[in-house]
Amino acid sequence: MKSNSSSRYRFLKLALICFLILLGREPDWGTESVSLIPPVSDCLLSPENVWQVPLASAGVADFLNHVPYLLFAALSAVVLVSLVVRFSSSVDLIAILILASLSAAISPLDLLPICCLSLVCAIRDSAWLKSRSALRLTALLCVGFFAILVTLEFSLVLLFLILILWNEEDVTVRGVSRAGAIILASIVLAAGFGLAYFVHPSFFHVGLRPVSWMWMQVPTELIPRLQSPVVVRSHWFSVVTMVFAGGLLWSARSTQSKNHLTQFLILLCFALVSLASVHYFVLALSCLVLLTRPYVDKLSFQFPLRGVVACTLIGVFGFAIWQTDKLSLLAGEPAPKLVDPTQWQTGGNVILMNLDHSSDWNEGPASDQFQLVLDERWDLFGGKYHDYLAVCRDLKEVRINSYLRTDLEWGGYKLVIDDWNASILVVESQELLAIRGLSNSPHWKLMGIDGKRTIFGNQEIPANIPQLKRAVETILFLEWPKPGAEIQLDKTIVANTDHDARIVANVLCLTRLPYAGLRFIRDDHSASAEKVRTRCFLELAHRVYRHSGVGSCLDQYRALVRFRIGEKNGIWSPAELAQIEQSLEGLGVTLQEEAAVVSEEADFIEQIQLAMRAGDEQLCTSLLEKLEEPVKSYFSCLVDSPAMDVEETLTCLNRILLEEPDFPAEIAGDAWFYLGCLALETGETVSAAAAFQKSQEIAPSSAFREIRMIYLQQLGQK
């Protein structure tokens, strides 16, 4: 009795760890639902007679497409714990590591295949079925059949099933020897696959999925899930624990196993598959664990287990709480995470640049309105991915017209896109270069942004026009808000978490809407938000420079000072720094902290302006001492602006300009212009317009004349 309750307690303890990790992975675990079976693939370029997961295409198991995340987490916890629960409690450390690794990486589509694997082992180990070999074999075959019904990865389950049978030492059916049985099984297997190829070639290709992606060299740029977990930072933990636990399991196994070489090769295969791609990591690791499970009890470690378990529980509990979107949970109604293209009353063919997002478009109402050009089924499209990738590259680089490639074929996307009649183009919101490139495209215009995707619409498709118009109105309103106007933001932009807001801000900045971007990160002072903010200031500096020929003492100075602080704090990667350097070249400045070259002949005002445009904080501070009031206070406001909130700088500048009637006319035009810019940044458009008008009155032919006119036009004052 005691033993039963202790093992029940242990099961619960492990399941709780697993469950909490799974909750921590999904901030909206209370409201989110997931699909446990792959959606039907129905793409523009799909060949005929495609193998689909039968349950998905039959539609009889709709509930499997909308399983609450909470239920998925609970089921996964139970199933994953069932993989390791037979380890003795002395190796609970390994069990916890494996569980943590699996629950951090498991995807909803892995759940049913793992259930099958676990069932196969349960049947094998069942004492009751041990003496009923016919029933046992039937049960195993049923599991295999079930796997074919619910997953595209059935071949891994079947392979595992065969291995289990293969390893049975007492397999002698009616006097057939072991060697004979193996030969017979191989012949049956080969014949089965041969038959499958003739009856349904696509089924055969699906069966080869676990290995075919390797020789097809499916581009991981299109299907990032096929990257090795070793190169995906979020999977490092899984890989490290897998290697550690794998080493221990291997050690346990090798002390026990007899068929050493065969076992070695089999385990090696599973280890390689698990390390080769994120997609197969969980399945292959599960196989590895199940195959080594019977031998693990021989291991004995003396770890302070209670302490480890307690710490793990506290850690994962904190992780789950920290990750959970509390507001959405308490509000009762889930906050949307993604823009919903089905509301746009448009449809047509969709080009995805990240095919891992295929299920967003292959499932639910979206699948009725949209059709993907192709999706992540490499068993169907393996040969087409390279051409598709080339088109994606041309789209990102806005290579519209034909150009000759090194293979003497023609590049350029226009003819291909016309052929596909593509209506929607979906880019990952963190693919900055692609978004920047597409923002220059004459064909593709922004339709929607969220933390995951940035959606562009083909403006030659009439059905896209209403949403394209709405999107333009929305983003222009965010850039230049007009008093009294109203917009429906969530039809175009969804950013309900800080993380998503930062991504959206970056996208807006890249599409040359820096004020709109800044509005999404106003109260966010994290390092990531700081990066986006600095980029926005750089964009503003370029805008002013492009329209005036002179640098902005406000934006250029803020950008440079913040870049340098960020560089010292190490928030910029070398690639980002190189790109920033390239961008600063356009302003005639550099990121290097060199003393600004300031002519001694120039007066102090000119000197400090030059120093600010070069971002020379030190020189600015020293020159401040040489200025007289109220000019000194004015420049002091600007010099302090990188360290102040925009509202503080605005207040500071406002006070000086309003309270100092003797403010020198030669810099008053610029000062009012900067005040207008700050007011625009804070969203005080009436004050902004008034400041720009004042600037215009004081200095009608100032260098900022053109940009000021643009701002006034956008604010509806011209």
Interacting positions 520-539 with another protein (CB under 8 A): 538-539
Q: Is 436 in the site for another protein (CB under 8 A)?
A: yes
Q: Least Å distance between CB 190 and another protein?
A: 27
Distance CA 452, CA 449 (A): 8
Q: Is 564 in the site for another protein (CB under 8 A)?
A: no
Which of 469, 525, 546, 718 is close enough to bind another protein by CB under 8 A? 546
Which of 342, 367, 583, 717 is close enough to bind another protein by CB under 8 A? 583
Which of 74, 185, 476, 703 is close enough to bind another protein by CB under 8 A? 703
Q: Is 547 in the site for another protein (CB under 8 A)?
A: yes
Residue closest to 685 by CA, chosen among 550, 484, 475: 484
Distance CA 617, CA 257 (A): 70
Residue with tokens 């090795």: 228
Q: Is 441 in the site for another protein (CB under 8 A)?
A: yes
Q: Least Å distance between CB 709 and another protein?
A: 8
Q: Nearer to another protein by C-beta: 414 or 626?
A: 414
Residue closest to 653 by CA, chosen among 637, 676, 673: 637
Q: Nearer to another protein by C-beta: 126 or 713?
A: 713
Strand spans (E) along 99-231? none
Q: Which residues pair with 427 in a beta bridge?
A: 454
Residue with tokens 């581009």: 219
Q: Is 702 in the site for another protein (CB under 8 A)?
A: yes
**218 close to 225: Cβ distance less than 8 angstroms:** no
Q: Nearer to another protein by C-beta: 415 or 686?
A: 415
In sequence order, the 6+-apart residues with CB closer than 8 A to the CB of 493 are 339, 448, 449, 450, 474, 475, 478, 504
**555 close to 537: Cβ distance less than 8 angstroms:** yes
Distance CA 52, CA 74 (A): 27
Q: Least Å distance between CB 212 and another protein?
A: 15
Using the contact rule CB under 8 A, the part of the chain among 139-147, 204-212, 408-416, 455-463 near another protein is 408-416
Which amino acid makes up residue 108? P
Backbone angles phi, psi at 348, to 5 degrees: 110, -165
Exposure on the CB side of residue 242, measured as CA atoms within 13 A? 29
Please report, as residue ranges, which positions from 585 to 604 form the binding site for another protein (by CB under 8 A).
Answer: 585-586
**358 close to 376: Cβ distance less than 8 angstroms:** yes
Q: Least Å distance between CB 66 and another protein?
A: 35
Q: Is 403 in the site for another protein (CB under 8 A)?
A: yes
Using the contact rule CB under 8 A, the part of the chain among 262-270, 339-347, 484-492, 635-643 near another protein is 262-270
**Binding pattern for the stretch 265-294 against another protein, x by CB under 8 A and - elsewhere:** --xx--xx--xx------------------
Q: What is the 3-state secondary structure (H, E, C) of 66-125?
A: CEEHHHHHHHHHHHHHHHHCCCCHHHHHHHHHHHHHHHHHCCHHHHHHHHHHHHHHHHHH
Q: Is 296 in the site for another protein (CB under 8 A)?
A: no
Number of chain residues interacting with another protein (CB under 8 A): 76
Q: Is 254 in the site for another protein (CB under 8 A)?
A: yes
Q: Is 542 in the site for another protein (CB under 8 A)?
A: yes
Please report, as residue ranges, which positions from 199 to 218 form the binding site for another protein (by CB under 8 A).
Answer: 217-218
Which amino acid makes up residue 13? K
Q: Nearer to another protein by C-beta: 21 or 417?
A: 417
**475 close to 446: Cβ distance less than 8 angstroms:** yes
Q: Is 701 in the site for another protein (CB under 8 A)?
A: yes
Q: Least Å distance between CB 502 and another protein?
A: 18
Q: What is the 3-state secondary structure (H, E, C) of 464-508?
A: HHHHHHHHHHHHHHHHCCCCCCCCCHHHCECCCCHHHHHHHHHHH
Please report, as residue ranges, which positions from 74 to 133 form the binding site for another protein (by CB under 8 A).
Answer: none
Q: Least Å distance between CB 401 and another protein?
A: 6
Distance CA 4, CA 79 (A): 19
Q: Is 707 in the site for another protein (CB under 8 A)?
A: yes
Q: Is 57 in the site for another protein (CB under 8 A)?
A: no
Q: Is 411 in the site for another protein (CB under 8 A)?
A: yes
The distance of Cα 664 from the centroid of its chain, to the nearest Å, equals 52
Q: Nearer to another protein by C-beta: 353 or 610?
A: 353
Distance CA 427, CA 351 (A): 9
Q: Is 240 in the site for another protein (CB under 8 A)?
A: no
Q: Least Å distance between CB 114 and another protein?
A: 23
Q: Nearer to another protein by C-beta: 419 or 662?
A: 419
**114 close to 283: Cβ distance less than 8 angstroms:** yes
